[in-house]
């Protein structure tokens, strides 16, 4: 329900707790992706 509401109200900052959890989930995904990019970049730098 919350995810659907978030999609409908795109651009409006969500303040409800379920929206907050939804944001945390996406922030964690972003952190993991960033960490992987840094790891790959670091490996490339060390190899060269």
How much is the pTM?
A: 0.49
pLDDT, tens digit, for every residue of 3-46? 555 555 555 555 555 667 778 888 899 999 999 999 999 988 88
Under 8 Å between Cβ of 10 and 22: no
14 is written with which tokens? 């969500």
């Amino acid at each position: 329900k919350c995810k659907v509401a978030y999609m409908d109200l795109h651009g409006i900052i969500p303040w409800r707790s379920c929206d907050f959890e939804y944001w945390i989930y996406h922030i964690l995904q972003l952190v993991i992706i960033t960490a992987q990019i840094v790891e790959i970049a670091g490996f490339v730098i060390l190899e060269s």
